[in-house]
Amino acid sequence: MVKPGIREERNILKKLEFSRIPFSGSLWTEKSDGQNKHFRVEVKSTEKKSYSLKKSIWQKIEREALETGKIPLMALDISGLELVVLELEVFKELYRDWKGGISDGRK
């Protein structure tokens, strides 16, 4: 039987089209929950009305992503509200690339 937290982690990773990292968090070599070509993601879910993201947690996610040459990302499910968190500078760069692609006709 799959634990509810693992089930939610798998659902979010599937929606993001990320692969799940086997034994995530249980082996020192395999941190974070999932990844794709560009991002490394940590997934957190709660049935509570809020989730408190501490700077130390983000720094851990960032360190693990940068060690693998990827961009850190956090996916949250707060009572069914699904969100992603990434640094502002990364968002700005992605937005500029996206906006540039639209303005010159690329999709």
Whole-number pLDDT of residue 52: 95
Distances (CA, A) of 53 to 23, 35, 76, 101: 23, 20, 10, 33
pLDDT of residue 1: 45
Is-above-0.85 flag for pTM?
A: no
% pLDDT > 90, the chain: 60
Which residue ranges in the chain fall short of pLDDT 50? 1-2, 27-28, 107
Q: So what's the pLDDT on residue 104?
A: 53
Write down the pLDDT at residue 30: 54
Sheet holding 19-20, edge to edge: 19-20, 34-35, 39-46, 71-78, 81-85
CA 102, CA 107: separation in Å to the nearest integer? 6
